[in-house]
Amino acid sequence: MGEENIYDKLKEIFGGIPGNLSVLEEEIDINLQVEYYEYARAHRHAITADEVIGKKDNIFQKDVSNEDKKSLFVQLASLDNVEAYRTIEKFIQDQEHELREWAVLAYQESRMLLESKILNENQVFISTGLGGKGDKLRYFIVFFANKGKSFNNFQKKVLQNEIDFFFKQCSGEVEEISYKDTFATFKVVIPLNVPLKNLFKNIILESNQYGDFLMSNFIITNVRCLSDEEIYDFLCHHNIELDYDESE
């Protein structure tokens, strides 16, 4: 199973993968991202750039409410102003602040605006729940063992070898691997110009040359990492069975 191929969608929209493209690198809940952009549209009321810059240090003040800070972040992000950009950049150095993810979204928007001004061309911004790295997007992948069996060490080695081989060809990276009773999960980053479904279908096909131990069905998402319970719920919702072999 898989989502619509982002690579194909980008080609359809832009006639290819645009060079003026930026990826949100951090993992930020997609609901928070939606909230940010809806909030930004509603709170960019009539206020001059000088007024916004005059209040910029309020984002660091403990006696200023988070609501006021959120409003100030979206106002700073709306300015093609280096001082506004550097102010937001300074704030996000605090890794523990409860508004950090909000500030990261403002920082990304501010950077895009400045780049558009400097380069004199509109920038294309891709934002997903799992973020990315450079020109790569991060994905959460689930492979399923055939007949509901657990992966043995040989099968894990085969799957790892095939993933290493195919990812080397496409400049992908594996960040995390986890094996459960009947499925394996991977967090990976893959370049935008790689057709995802073909990549993972080929990994499964080649792995199955050594014992047909993987189901052809798989999950790809760039929204967030799924819990074990969500993975099983997904299977039930799509009427996919793990095909247990009760005779063994």
Provide CB contacts within 8 A for 53, sequence distance 6+. 79, 81, 83, 84
Q: Write out pLDDT tens, residues 157-175.
A: 999 999 999 999 999 999 9
pLDDT over 90 percentage in the chain: 62
The neighbouring-strand residues paired with 124 are: 21
Q: Write out pLDDT tens, residues 28-56.
A: 999 999 999 999 988 877 678 999 999 99
pTM of the model: 0.80
What are the structural domains, with CATH classification, of the chain? 25-126 (no CATH), 132-237 (3.30.70.1290)
Q: Is 191 helix (H, G, I), strand (E, B) or coil?
A: strand
* pLDDT at 241 exceeding the cut of 70: no
* pLDDT at 206 exceeding the cut of 80: yes
